[in-house]
Amino acid sequence: MRLKDFKIVLILLLSIASQAQHKISGIVTHTNTNQPVDQVQVYDKVSGLKATTNATGYYEFETEKKNITLVFFSYEFEVFEIPITVTENVVVNAKLNELSVTLSEVEITSRRAKVFELSRLKDVEGTAIYAGKKTEVVLVDQSMANLASNNARQLFSQVAGLNIYQNDDAGLQLNIGGRGLDPNRTANFNTRQNGYDISADVLGYPESYYTPASEGLKEIQVIRGAASLQYGTQFGGLINFKMKEPNPFKTIELITRNTLGSNGLYTNFTSLSGTKDKFSYYTYFNYKKGDGFRPNSEFESKNFFTHVGYKFNDKTKITGELTYLRYLAQQGGGLTDQMFYNDPYQSNRERNWFQIDWLLYNLKLAHKFSDQTNFTFNFFGLNASRNALGFRTNRVDQIDPGSERDLIKGDFKNFGFETRLLSKYKVAQKDATFLIGGKFYKANNYQQQGPGSDGIGPNFNFYNEEFPNYSNQSQFDLPNLNIAVFGENIFYVSDKFSVTPGFRFEYIRTQSEGFYKRINTDAAGNVIFEETVEDNQDFDRSFVLLGLGLSYKPTTSFETYGNISQNYRSVTFSDININNPAFAINPNITDEKGFTTDLGIRGNYKSIVSYDLGVFGLFYNGRIGFVQKVLSDNRIISERGNVGDAIMYGVESLFDFNLKKIINLSNDFSFNYFINTSIINSEYTASDQIGVKGNKVEFVPDLNLKTGLKFGYKNLSASVQYTYLSQQFTDATNSVDSDLSGVIGKIPSYDVLDLSLAYTYKRFKLETGINNLLNNAYFTRRATGYPGPGIIPSAPRNWYTTLQIKI
């Protein structure tokens, strides 16, 4: 190429790179009242969402395009479109007309989907970056799941690859895993509510005993891959429950929902919401009670949530939230395989009880320094307790003799704050976004194990004087300290390609101060050995995790994404300080390390099909799990410890077909078919344990399939969903047969069929459905502790009916 030609090409490239950006702005008002309208979404009809109006009705964004069509969208107003030519900064004001007719449920759903696909997170939202990550959003208000019982199988039906424990019919706890992660109490995800932590202890005991009421949720965000850099070190990623927001158009809105169902199920959900000037609020109370689908399984739950917000001005807003949950559940205990096959719904435990008392609080300050720079400060805390009481011998078929019960009490007190600063800027005339954040977290937990009463009811007091020779006694103070700094930056190499590197620095200090007793007795109950063992530990570690995300968007309806991120999971105090008759703990148990990676394509084709197809890999070093060991006296025990290095890899896909458009039905109809498939392979690649290398990893079904149809006509909607999971192992030695405790052994393949119906008439909505329509007897869980140990069966066929009234 000649120098002259090169100069011409260089000038052209520079002119393209420096192409002028023009600002489009304006104010949106109500046609009749001339009052500003906030929360109006402003779209470029080709490229998607560009801005959302604030409290004064103002919006603005920048574009390089010369000809665009602006779309103004709000659920309460008619859609307004206007084509404009952009040669300089343009002011486009809009007046919106209120809807003059009441839309049917199908029409409302159609309006939601009319403009653009809203089920995935944008590159940047608030003070968070999602570019290059695998993000999935459950739009709860569009779901036809059994919301009254938090039916996770239905709620998360379109989230790829999730493995879900299904062991109660009220949704008291959420148990989600995936990609080989143990689903127990969602402990391998960072679980949050409106962006703040809700688990017992993020590091020392990351189990989620509290699950928000589905009826109060707006959406559920599931973020995997490189999300660990912003939300913690865990392998699973993030599950963030976003609560419904205050109604911006009413001073007071009342919604009440009453549900009746099988096995004496009754629930009530009542919410109040509204906005008055700068003040807004949303609050609800949720009550549940029922007998359970097994004997000895009654429960009662009370859940209160309130959110208040005050908007000082367009740039500064403060919100406060308070959540309280208290529930008491009787637990029917676990089963051996033989007991399950004889009668899957039997119970030989009537003195086992479980109680939760959970208080969460949060204060959030959001400030906008400029149109390019946002700041948030989140202060959060927890004051909670967990009480587990019962007879839980490792021979789960043994009849309860009525003696003293085992009692474990845990008190969790923690607080912390997280700050985030996000700023948009330019590099060589290209957009870039920078995020820096920090987190401080301090926990003071207390745990005690000892003899409970020999009575029947839920008496959560210790009886040490009455039963001084009880063998399982321990008492620990468990303080934790965590300081983290994290950052990410989106570099837009071009308008279509972005690179997002990130880091997370972690300092973790976990302490254990306490003792446990060893007491052995002879057949007559006389003490033959007694020892008190002091167990004080102080473990400091600090490290840096790195990650990288890539995104290529050649068009607005297609994206290729990929990411890789390091992960870390610290040993929890439940791993080392709980005496469990069903298994032993390896004294050398230590933290897990590894990394995850994703590569996929997603988008939609002419609004006919929405899709997300990807491959993933999850690599573990020192994975914690169970192995079967033979002792010197020929006894076989289950031992929990670092089993070895493992890899899980596979293909995840979701295809959602808009059959309405394919068949060319009118707007009175909606008709969709989805298929969600996860095909996974797994292997232990190295292990010091005998008979483990080459085995499959626990909690990994080869095939995880969810598929279904959703049909609507005007105000009537119906859906049918089918779920199938192939068999999976529960220990690293891949035991097929169970032991006396029922803790190890395979989980056989199972399938479930669910049917849901809904009808809306003015202010009323009637929902009904049948879960497990085929009445299959199956189980998804072998519990190592409460509510077992042993097999915990899943619910047989059951029905529900919900009446909603909105005022």
Evaluate if residue 10 carries a pLDDT over 50.
no
Strands 584-585 vs 636-658: parallel, antiparallel or unpaired: parallel
Q: What is the mean pLDDT of the chain?
A: 89
DSSP assignment of 74-94 equals -TTB--EEEEEE-SS-EE--E
What kind and span of H or E run contains 753? strand 750-761
Residue 332: which of 289, 288, 392 has the closest Cα? Answer: 392
For the beta carbon of residue 710, count every other beta carbon within 10 angstroms.
21
Q: Average pLDDT, stretch 50-56? A: 83
The answer for residues whose C-beta is within 8 angstroms of residue 195's C-beta and 6 or more apart is 240, 364, 378
Mean pLDDT of 312-320: 93
Residue 456 has pLDDT above 60, yes or no: yes
CB 447 within 8 A of CB 573: yes
Say what the pLDDT of residue 741 is: 84
H helix or E strand, kind and range, residue 371: none
Q: How does pLDDT run across 155-181, given as a tens digit for each residue?
A: 999 898 899 999 887 889 899 998 888
- pLDDT band for 113, please (50, 70, 90 cuts): low
Comparing C-alpha atoms, which of 541, 481, 549, 550 is closest to residue 505? 541
What is the dihedral sign for C-alpha 260, 263, 264, 266?
A: negative
Instruction: Tell me which DSSP letter residue 3 carries.
Output: H
Biggest distance spanned by C-alpha atoms of the chain:
103
Give the separation between CA 259 and CA 453, rounded to whole angstroms.
36
What average pLDDT score do residues 626-650 get? 81
| 8 A C-beta contact, residue 622 and residue 590 | yes
- CB neighbours of residue 475 within 10 Å: 17
Whole-angstrom CA distances from 611 to 112, 390, 649 are 18, 47, 20
Residue closest to 543 by CA, chosen among 568, 579, 518: 568
Per-residue pLDDT, 116: 35
Whole-number Å distance between alpha carbons of 394 and 785: 10
pLDDT band, residue 579 (cuts 50/70/90): low
The percent of residues above 90 in pLDDT, for the chain, comes to 60
d(CA 455, CA 560): 61
Could you report the per-residue pLDDT of 14-39, keeping only the tens digit for each?
A: 343 444 578 899 999 999 888 898 88
Task: Report the C-alpha gap between 430 and 421 in whole angstroms.
Answer: 20
Phi/psi zone of residue 316: left (φ > 0), alpha (ψ -120 to 50 degrees), beta? beta
Give residue-wise pLDDT tens across range 213-232. 999 999 999 998 655 688 88
Least Cα distance to 553 among 64, 68, 122 occurs for 122
Query: Across residues 78-104, what is the average pLDDT?
Result: 84
- For 187, other C-beta atoms within 10 Å of its C-beta total 23
Residue 617: pLDDT over 80: yes
- Token pair of 523 as six digits: 């057949």
Please tell me the distance from the alpha carbon of residue 611 to that of residue 164, in angstroms, as a whole number: 22
Are 696 and 687 within 8 A, CB to CB?
A: no
pLDDT in tens, 55-82: 788 998 888 778 888 889 887 788 888 8
Contact of 639 with 742, CB cutoff 8 Å: no
Summarize pLDDT for 257-314 with one digit per residue, the tens. Answer: 999 999 999 999 999 999 998 999 999 999 999 999 999 999 999 999 999 999 999 8
Please write down the long-range contacts of 463-471, taking CB distance under 8 Å and 24 or more positions apart.
463/404, 466/404, 467/404, 469/519, 469/521, 469/525, 469/527, 470/404, 470/519, 471/517, 471/518, 471/519, 471/520, 471/521
The 10 Å CB-count burial string (b at 16+, else e) for 144-164 is bbbbbbbbbbbbbbbbbbbbb
